[in-house]
Structure 1
Amino acid sequence: MTETMDAAILERVRNEPMLAHTRAWAAINSGTRNLAGLKTMAATLADAFSALPGKVELVEPAPATSVAPDGHVSALDHGRHLVVRVRPDAPVRMLFTGHMDTVYPIDHPFQQQVFLDPNTLNGPGVADMKGGLALLLAALKAVEASPLASRIGYDVMINSDEETGSFSSSALIADLARDKVAALTYEPALADGTLAGARGGTGNFSLVVHGRSAHAGRNPDDGRNAIVAASDLAVRLFAAKEEGLAVNPARIEGGGPNNVVPDLAILRINFRPSSPEAIARAQAAIDDAIAAVATARDVRIEAHGSFNRPPKPIDAGAGKLFDLVKQVGAGLGLAIGWKATGGVCDGNNIAAAGVPVVDTMGARGGAIHSADEFLLVDSLPERAALSALTIMRIAEKGGL
């Protein structure tokens, strides 16, 4: 019976219009800050995913803030997030996640699609991740057409802010991850099919330094130079880097005319911890540097930000899920491998909720976040089949 069901699923995914969906969705600019484009994208996806037998809803984003170059903290608007709930009372439930936003704003010159060859489509978001969303839908429709569909329930979450850190959707992800046996996320695989294994974490901070202005020639000692203090912070925090903790002071904003001691500066800084212990050390370094610089430079410092994506190790549960994907792939003639990466995604947040996750189940492609981004078209049915059969194996076994 399994062979017959597998053959039916393979036939079903081959007939799904994944490339057409990918191209139509990639034609909609849905950069994270393009709220009008995200609204169109969310409505389009809601219509497409309504083919599944569940409740489709658009969830309002949670509040999030941003620190402007003038130090002002304001609300940051995001698009709504798509959630589909199918068989919420099923004893075995999974979570599938993706994102509708891209890194290409409405005024970015990269807006068009072109075939570089019959199997290679160059276009904004075709791999990251309009193609992944298309094959996810195809996989789920194939599962729903199988006689085992009733054995498994699931939630689908497609957020609008993954590319900028999922600040307005992280609580939603944590809520949906609760009580799930496993999760699949549709970030693109590498062009050769390699998946992301363990991931480090990330933390982004804006450290706002308030000094005191003065005339740079007449009474400079009456001033408190915020640029110097921010530079002192950057040097101290960069010295905290170690094995398992990368530190990148990325930008200092502030200052003004050459004859004025600057009274405001903002240090933008990124941390990449590989473990919870590294997060603790990084937080201690931030706290210590702020206290030391505030005292030494006689300035006031406000810290904004957080470690918004925890590290994602390959624990026993994740290892079992990877092994299952590898086994299913072998049955399809695919050699599935994975390797650790310094990149982050919503898979980090799902793993932090204690749910095994494979987060690169999307299409094969590459050069993402650049005008050279490409999708390998033949990976759409290939990866849809991989997902559908993985889900079916979990349904058959009642879990991992």
Structure 2
Amino acid sequence: MPPELSQREAQLIRAVARRGPAMLEDLRRWVAIPTGMNHTPGLDELRGIVTSRLEALGARTTLVPGEPAPDWLYGGPSADEPVPPTAVCARLRDSCASRVLLASHLDTVFAPDDPFAQLSVAPDGATATGPGCVDMKGGIVVAVHALEALEEVGIDCSWSYLLNSDEERGSHHSAAALAAQAKQHDVGLATEPALAQGELAIARKGSGQFRIDAHGRAAHVGRAFSEGVSAVYALARAIVEVERLAAGPPAHTVSVGPLVGGEAINIVPERACCWGNARYDDAEEEALIARALDALATDEEALPRVVVRRCFSRPPKPATPATLALAELARAQAEALGQALPFARTGGVCDGNNLQAAGLPTIDTLGVRGGGLHTRSEWIELASLVERAQLLALLLAQLAEAPLTVA
């Protein structure tokens, strides 16, 4: 039997329900702010709007300077690109049972001049499309309104809200802030969108990026072919070894692409490189993949020379007893609301990986339902704005009253 709502909890749920029109309006406004491709003006604008709302609840905002990211990452920062800060809005209370860290990201994947730039509501009012509507501006709307509803009905909670601006690019700038905040809280709740069928992710693979550079010797293909050393051939041999690693046995999730090499068809290529991504279930598999990649490198004096660089920045997020206890607590609140909350595992990664790796039990798909992430058909199920805000508000109220119990 699902637990029954207390009178105060029912009051909280009604308060969230009344916010439906305001939530849609916030989503419309926030989706229209371009926050992709490290677009500083848009990120600053949205960060300012959200932190102001949280400060109105009594939170104190700290901007944590970002850390530099490796410059060899694919799509990584250029030398003159600004490093965005991470905002931490804290309203901690000693009287509450749990210190909760909420986490969301402001950034999306669409360029500021992309024509996919506004929220468009379907004629039946059930869904809408727009850049970042589900990943994850809808999740930010959910969290802000849940906190405001708790304040409205007088339920005191102890929370901090971390808003970073580089999650879509790997959270390299905000990694230190995520780890530091994880150590200061008891529970982590992130508003990444729900999985495809509305599931709560209870386990995630880890993720790492790598780059393989091959250096050869240029020569004219017609006049001095034998004097050349092809970097493309050397890179191709390395890629074949990566493919063998992926194929197994046992098989591993390792992908290569994109790649570049050579300058002209009549020149033996002097340089070539490729980028790749690896996914792994645990530290043992992570180490195995790392060793296999490192083994592709040659001595500095070799010709051709192969250089391997890697950055395994998202640790695996296993279903620990504490994570499962938190997920079950969330499911109990969902059932009290008449909502289903199935569990699932995913190969996707997010800031929840980093938070849990730093010691914080975290569930990270408490955001809205929808689909088409990172595409120009990204869509949101609009009813999930209120439903997920009710779930989050109820979960925060429970954690304020009693600490997480792990069997």
Shorter-chain-normalised TM-score: which range?
Answer: over 0.9
The residue matched to 1:251 in structure 2 has which SS?
strand
Between the aligned residues of both structures, percent identity stands at 34
Partners of 1:367 and 1:104 lie apart in 2 by 13
Compute the displacement of 1:303 (Å).
Answer: 3.0
Partners of 1:68 and 1:318 lie apart in 2 by 31
> Which residue does 2:90 correspond to in 1?
85
Compute the displacement of 1:249 (Å).
Answer: 0.9
> Which residue does 1:353 correspond to in 2?
358
Opposite residue 35 of structure 2, the aligned amino acid is: S
1:1-400 alignment, distance < 5 Å: 3-16=6-19, 17-67=22-72, 74=79, 77-87=82-92, 92-116=98-122, 117-149=124-156, 152-190=157-195, 192-241=197-246, 242=248, 243=250, 245-291=252-298, 298-400=303-405
Partners of 2:225 and 2:357 lie apart in 1 by 49
Once the two structures are superposed, what CA deviation does each residue of 1:341-385 show, in whole Å capped at 9, x if it has no partner?
111111111111121111100011111111111111111111111
RMSD: 2.3
Partners of 1:29 and 1:381 lie apart in 2 by 24
Once the two structures are superposed, what CA deviation does each residue of 1:189-242 show, in whole Å capped at 9, x if it has no partner?
146422222111111112222222122222223222111111111111121124
Partners of 2:77 and 2:189 lie apart in 1 by 38
Q: CA contact under 8 A between 1:187 and 1:360: conserved in structure 2? A: yes
Q: TM-score, normalised by structure 2?
A: 0.91
Q: CA contact under 8 A between 1:98 and 1:129: conserved in structure 2? A: yes
Opposite residue 149 of structure 2, the aligned amino acid is: A
Structure 2, unaligned stretches of length 5 or more? none
Q: CA contact under 8 A between 2:15 and 2:149: conserved in structure 1? A: yes
Structure 1, unaligned stretches of length 5 or more? none
Q: CA contact under 8 A between 1:204 and 1:270: conserved in structure 2? A: yes
The residue matched to 1:66 in structure 2 has which SS?
coil
Q: CA contact under 8 A between 1:225 and 1:262: conserved in structure 2? A: yes
Number of matched pairs: 395
Partners of 1:107 and 1:337 lie apart in 2 by 38
CA distance 1:170–1:176, shift in 2 (3 Å): same
Partners of 2:228 and 2:372 lie apart in 1 by 47
CA distance 1:77–1:213, shift in 2 (3 Å): farther
CA distance 1:281–1:68, shift in 2 (3 Å): closer
Compute the displacement of 1:2 (Å).
Answer: 6.5
Moved more, 108-117 or 282-291: 108-117
